[in-house]
Amino acid sequence: MGEFFRLLKGGNKPSLIAAIVNTIIAALKGGAFFLTGNVAMFAEMMHSIGDAANQFFVFIGSALSKKAPTPKFPNGFGRLVNLVCLGAVILVGILSYETIKEGWHHIQHPAESTGVAISLIVLGIGIILETVVLYKAGKEILHDVGVKGTSFLSPLTTSIAHLKRAKPATKLVFMEDLVATSGGVLAFVAVLISHFTGFLQAEGIASIMIGLMMFYVVGKVFLDNARGALGETDEQMLVHIALIVSENEQVKDIQELEVIKEGEFLHVKLVAEIDPTLTFAQLDDIRDVLKDLILSQQGVTDVIISFDEDDGVQDWTHKDARTVLKTHD
């Protein structure tokens, strides 16, 4: 049990903050829905419940994924966060379906809701809190990829361009809260339209739109984490490592290079071609230099390096590395 709580300290902080905030928001929206019967509020309540549960699971999964390898699991637990995310999106998918179904029912049988002021106040609070969580998640993404924001709004703007390189847990939080914030604004507008124009179906339409946005997150997160659970090649980091390795004058060519992403961690396997006249002592020094260099790259946790004699055929060129790296950027 002591180890479990120690691991929790290393869990993804944005997901924990998001889970706590969404629990509070879900409680507020739940109370407002029972008082007003507002269908848009129901959709937002379901969304916040799904986000809170999802993010709690992700926090625990991200913490447990940092558990050290054991004799039974020698490759470690890095992919556990991907498996947890896959399980968590199932819950969101169910809530998405219920949200769309309730919205469709309201369109077919519109009913006027009460307590407009309560709905607007709760939705307004939710939008503000979700925006704060979104901002923090955006800052974490910029930190993950080593990018400095150029303005106060960078966590909300620049982070989107680097979303693919973010940690799975942080990426999930950002996407869910982006949809949650947008959904809150949509529900807010729907309540105003319904109240001032008498177009009661607006709340049902908003509910369906929120449900569809939730389904989008489900699909996106599922595909991303399915690739992670299988062991996905990090192409951008592969090219980056190939570039820095090829700059070592002792490395004549790169025969094989693998950069496998498991959860938040990267595992590197390198086969480099070296001058066959070098001594074992020299090869050992080269190996140490390359290992330290690769391990210093963000996210890399282990490296396997082996050497082969230079065959005189160039498989990897410095120019090719720069071209591919620029393309991925």
Question: Which tokens is 18 given?
Answer: 């998001």
Spell out the residues 6+ positions from residue 62 whose beta carbon is closer than 8 angstroms to its own: 11, 12, 15, 81, 84, 167, 168, 169, 263, 264
Cα–Cα dist 58/169, whole Å: 6
Q: What is the DSSP string of 260-277?
A: EEETTEEEEEEEEEE-TT
Mean pLDDT lowest among 25-29, 33-37, 88-92, 278-282: 88-92
Question: Which tokens is 208 given?
Answer: 């369906």
Residue spans per domain, the chain: 2-230, 235-328
- More confident: 173 or 7: 173
C-beta of residue 78 within 8 angstroms of C-beta of residue 68: no
User: Average pLDDT of the chain?
Assistant: 83
Share of the chain above pLDDT 90, in %: 20
Its CATH architecture, for the domain 2-230, is Up-down Bundle (1.20)
What integer pLDDT is reported at residue 295 of this predicted model?
92
Cα–Cα dist 150/322, whole Å: 25
* Strand ranges (E), 109-245: 232-233
pLDDT tens figures, 185-218: 999 999 999 888 989 899 899 989 988 988 888 8
What integer pLDDT is reported at residue 269 of this predicted model?
92
Rounded to an integer, the average pLDDT of 300-326 is: 72
What integer pLDDT is reported at residue 291 of this predicted model?
93
In CATH terms, the fold of domain 235-328 is Alpha-Beta Plaits (3.30.70)
Cα–Cα dist 235/255, whole Å: 16
pLDDT tens figures, 220-279: 878 877 877 777 777 878 888 988 898 888 888 898 888 888 767 788 999 999 988 888
pLDDT tens figures, 16-31: 888 899 899 999 999 9
Chain-centroid distance, C-alpha 254: 31
Q: What is the DSSP string of 24-81?
A: HHHHHHHHHHHHH--HHHHHHHHHHHHHHHHHHHHHHHHHHTTPPP-SSSTT-STTHH
